[in-house]
A and B are shown apart, each in its own frame.
Chain A
Amino acid sequence: MSPRDDEAGEPMIARDATYHRAPDALRARVRASVAKAARESRGPLLWRALALGAAFAGVAVLSWNLALLHARPSADELFARDAVSAHVRSLMPGHLDDVLSSDQHTVKPWFTGRLDFSPPVRDLASVGFPLTGGRVDYVDGRTVAALTYRYRLHVINVFVWPRPGAADSPPRIEMRQGYSLVRWTHGGMGFCAVSDAEAAELAGLADALNHQ
């Protein structure tokens, strides 16, 4: 145990995080475009009046579109809501697992015939996430594999569905309604882990699932 958190063992942002300095090319590009804007702003009065009018129209269109955008939840938002609902539903008595096993060689074959894809199933007890079972669930308009893990006393649902051709993306953390969500893509599969455990722990589960 360290005597103090901020000693050398623990990274500190000010010391260890990268300060990204602007590349020289950017400096040149910014100077050039500002100089150009300066020249243009000295144009004839008529053009400036027109530009102002166009700017107002632009702002009106933009705010209208933004208003529309905000009124309608994004696909992503809907997915997240659905995933949290599926998680909460799974916690009701008898809903969590249809196949109850900590053996990945029991859980994986169970999905065969129930899904048109084969989700990666791994027991992660060695890193603190024992597999407890699985079921088929329905999230965001499609059937998904739901793998269940435990972390201490927390139940974790990991939803898995095929995303052919999608590039791998690192885990992304969100918090909603007090639940942690971590989403990522790996090996052509979409993953979404939901739990009341800490988001950081879920990110750890994501790393373990990707790399074990």
Chain B
Amino acid sequence: MTPLARFEKTVLPHLDAAYNLARWITRNDQDAQDVVQEAYLRAFRYFEGLRGGDARAWLLAIVRNAGYTWLEKNRPAEVVALEDPGALSAEAETVGHASPSDGNPEVILLQSANRKILNQALEELPVGYREVLVMRELEDLSYKDIAAIAGLPMGTVMSRLARGRELLRRLVEVRMRKAS
């Protein structure tokens, strides 16, 4: 098999995962496409370096790099350093939620509102939290894979996930409170 044929067989099938991550990093369809295209070219160039191993995680590391390079060039303000320890206090505050049951039109309405609110809130999160949440929740990657892809210690991945979730929950709460 030629390298191209092997590449098409092992790496190309992960295009959706690549695009999803790039789309969440750049928050824009067109920019995500450019990032994915660039990442695939890089991936092909380094394809020899992938011997066995998980092609998806390997590809996503390249996509993430290409995404960050793109952000640094085009929207440097979005690449903010996260203060990993402490800072966010858990000044807990509970807001009442409707607890709807299935099959009810209100549930469907609420869920589509949820989707919009959640997507907006997730886009609003600093990219350092957003990317780990997307990798964990939408790609179902292990902590270990996320740590390797993002080049972070595993403990940092876990604390970013926790703080990202907390921040996201609050963003969603504020929006739901306003919507109701």
Contacts and interface: CB of A to CB of B under 8 A. Distances in A.
Interface of A: 1-3, 5, 7-14, 16-23, 25-27, 29-31, 33-35, 37-38, 69, 74, 76, 127, 170-176, 178, 198-201, 203-204, 207-208
Given A22-B15, A173-B125, A1 B94 contact: yes
A80 B172 CA distance: 25
B124 interface: yes
A175 B40 CA distance: 33
A30 B36 contact: yes
Interface in B148-180: 167-175, 177-178
B77 A34 contact: no
A11 B114 contact: yes
B117 A34 contact: no
B124 A34 contact: no
B40 A22 contact: no
A76 B173 CA distance: 29
A25 B32 CA distance: 13
A172 B77 contact: yes
Given A1-B96, A26-B15, A20 B45 contact: no
A48 B7 CA distance: 21
A8 B110 contact: yes
Contact of B174 (A18, A37, A200): A200
A30 B83 contact: no
Most central of A20, A25, A38, A200 by chain B CB within 10 Å: A200
A202 to B, nearest CB: 9
Nearest to A178: B87
Interface string B55-97: 0000000000000000010001110101100111101001011
B50 interface: no
B138 A17 contact: yes
Interface residues of B, number: 71
Contacts of B126: 173-175
B23 A20 contact: yes
B111 interface: yes
Contacts of A17: 115, 118-119, 122, 134, 137-138
16 contacts: A1-B94, A2-B94, A7-B97, A8-B98, A8-B111, A10-B169, A12-B137, A23-B29, A30-B37, A31-B12, A33-B37, A34-B8, A76-B76, A178-B83, A200-B174, A204-B175
B3 interface: yes
Contacts of B98: 8-9
Given A3-B99, A20-B24, 10 more contacts: A9-B110, A10-B172, A11-B114, A11-B172, A16-B111, A16-B114, A25-B33, A74-B76, A174-B80, A176-B83
Nearest to A182: B124
B4 A35 contact: yes
Given A9-B100, A14-B137, A17-B137, A37 B44 contact: yes
Given A26-B37, A172-B124, A200-B174, A16 B4 contact: no
Contact of B173 (A14, A29, A172, A200): A200
B3 A38 contact: yes
A200 B118 contact: no
A173 B124 contact: yes
B178 A204 contact: yes
